[in-house]
Amino acid sequence: MNSKIFDNPALKTRINSSSVKIQEMAFGYLLAPFCAMISNAIFGSYLNRYYVDVLGWTKFGVFATLLPMLSSIVVIAGNILVGQWIDNTRTSAGKARPYLLLSIPMIAVAILLMFMTPRSGSNGLQMMWIAVTYNLYYAIAYPCYYTAHSSMVSLSTRNANQRGLLATLSNASTVAAAGIGASILVPILLQPFMFVSGPNGIDVDASYANWRLLSIALALLSAVGIIFEYYFTRERITEEAIALGLKEEKLPLKKHIDVCTKDRYWWMVIIFILVFQFGQLCKNSSMSFYARWMFDNVMNSANPESTSAAMMSTLGLVGGLPSAVGMVVAWPLANKLGKQRAIILGLAFATLGGLIGFINVNSFPIVCTAVVLKGIGIVPAQYVMLALISDILDHLEAKNGFRSDGFTMSLYSSIMVGLGGLGMGIINAMLTFSGYVNTGYPVDPKTVTLIEDFANWTGDVIYRQMGGTEQVLAFVYLTVDVITFVISILLLWKLDVEKYGEEDRRLIIERQKEAVLAEGGTWIDPEERARMEQEQADREAEEERIRELREKCEKQGMNFEEEERKYQEAQEKRRNSFIGKLLG
């Protein structure tokens, strides 16, 4: 990558503060990533159902099972490649942020092509198109974005409190995209549009046409979100090395692998993420199937697709409310208890709450209760995870003298993206062998008692999945994540890296000081350097403001001194307000 490109003022970050401020938090780590990731969240909830119910790919048999599972290998390779690029990139924009821009055309094109699968022609042509476009998105385009996005928290600042807050907001954007977007708003507003009801199930022709329109909107929204994330983030740790004049050696991937895999804390957190996310992805991927075929309310409905959409939206809402509240309490809780302890206690609560769902897997109120309790319990794991990874990356830097953000976050991205394919393959295999069909099975009123006792039977023929399929859906939606909670608790039991925080910081600063002095440079304490940088940024911003105000006054015949007085009075009022005191 040509680093000089990013010296262009047009590509300069809009964040000038040496300290993390509200603008960076709100736009760079919450709103922009939400827009960038909403398409992927929708795919996580609905892409498999699109493949199954619209394209009918369970008719391809083994292909529907093996493609997403084998593609996970390519996804991992793609993420690791991007991670290596990040570790060896040095530009004025940082090491990860340039790949945000690079990902924009790749993601837009990949999204559009995924939903242009030919409906006519041989099964072989359809399978080839699905295989190529699936991997174009998940193995190339999305890793380019998500690995860079995931690296931003650890590269943003060394201030533990600010980094913890950014980790909370970054995870909040992911949770909001999946919870509020894909699980609440989309089912209410778009599910009947994505899966148009027909006389015997789903109208595949109308649904296919609607998905093509939706892909255009998702491609545009993703592009806008990534652009805003690029301009409203900043890599202070990368800039730190540039400002000190430190020459960072481009290390081979083998070196990063060697130092990371020899650290027990690194293994603990990587395996924890692998296990925890597998449970969440299985649950999310199966939610739309579960809401469509498992609840008594849906089976009795005259319009089951709309009713299942309402059920799914409600599940997303009740499961997402704890996450929304958790964004406020997660970091104070982690500060008080410690990151590791907060996650463990939360997962223990989620395990107990999840067991309630097995009282009656066909009862919507009971399943909702289990979803709420699990949602409360996983709050610390959702929001504190990236901050915990950042602590481990600092610990590795203190021990080894260099950072392995790219490699570590490429594995994090591989897990977050690749597991979706693995989960999809497993679910498809189980659905295929259990006899799933997208129209359900017609049930004669005379035999309905063999399925369950309907309190208000109307005598109409209904459609529902039978026997083995219901057991599969109960397992992947209600059981898998509970199992992963227990495993995660065992994995994190002795992860006490937080106790090294102050010592790691001291070692890193000492090593930087030695390197600067060895090259004949002048050492400036990091806090002092940050203060000087902030003063310069504030001074330049103030000079630019005054210049613009003078020009405005001259053009409009206004009195500059009077306008300046009004501005200062307004600023003083803002500083003395509740919000002003809160933000500082």
| 77/126 same-domain check | yes
- Nearest to residue 279, comparing CAs of 491, 436, 447, 82? 491
Residue 71 lies in a domain: yes
Residue 512 lies in a domain: no
DSSP 457-500: --S--EEE--THHHHHHHIIIIIHHHHHHHHHHHHHTT--GGGG
| 552/467 same-domain check | no
| 533/492 same-domain check | no
pLDDT value for 255: 86
Measure Cα distances from 377 to 123, 344, 353, 491 in Å: 45, 9, 8, 17
Residue 400 lies in a domain: yes
Domain count along the chain: 2
| 328/412 same-domain check | yes
pLDDT value for 491: 92
| 216/287 same-domain check | yes
Residue 185 lies in a domain: yes
Residue 398 lies in a domain: yes
Residue 528 lies in a domain: yes
The pTM for the full model equals 0.66
Q: Tokens for 35?
A: 């827009």
- Please count the other Cβ atoms lying within 10 Å of the Cβ belonging to residue 458: 9
pLDDT value for 462: 43
Residue 3 lies in a domain: no
| 217/249 same-domain check | yes
Are the C-beta atoms of 222 and 208 separated by less than 8 Å? no
Are the C-beta atoms of 344 and 492 separated by less than 8 Å? yes
- Nearest to residue 317, comparing CAs of 382, 364, 386? 364
pLDDT value for 459: 40
SS3 content of the chain, % helix, strand, coil (to 5): 80, 0, 20
| 443/566 same-domain check | no
Residue 456 lies in a domain: no
Q: Angle at CA 174, nearest 5°, toward 117 and 319?
A: 100
| 489/568 same-domain check | no
CATH number, domain at 159?
A: 1.20.1250.20
| 528/434 same-domain check | no
| 375/269 same-domain check | yes
Q: Chain-centre distance of CA 312, in angstroms?
A: 20
Q: What does the alpha-carbon distance between residue 39 and residue 27 come to, in Å, rounded to a whole number?
A: 18
| 533/476 same-domain check | no
Domain, as residue range, for 408: 18-447+463-506
Q: What is the mean pLDDT of each run of 10 residues along the chain (584 residues)?
A: 77 83 88 92 82 74 74 83 85 89 94 88 81 90 89 81 79 76 75 80 85 94 95 86 68 85 90 89 78 67 69 76 75 83 93 89 85 89 83 88 82 76 72 63 42 39 55 82 93 88 84 77 72 73 83 89 87 68 46
| 480/410 same-domain check | yes
Pairing of strands 201-202, 197-198: antiparallel
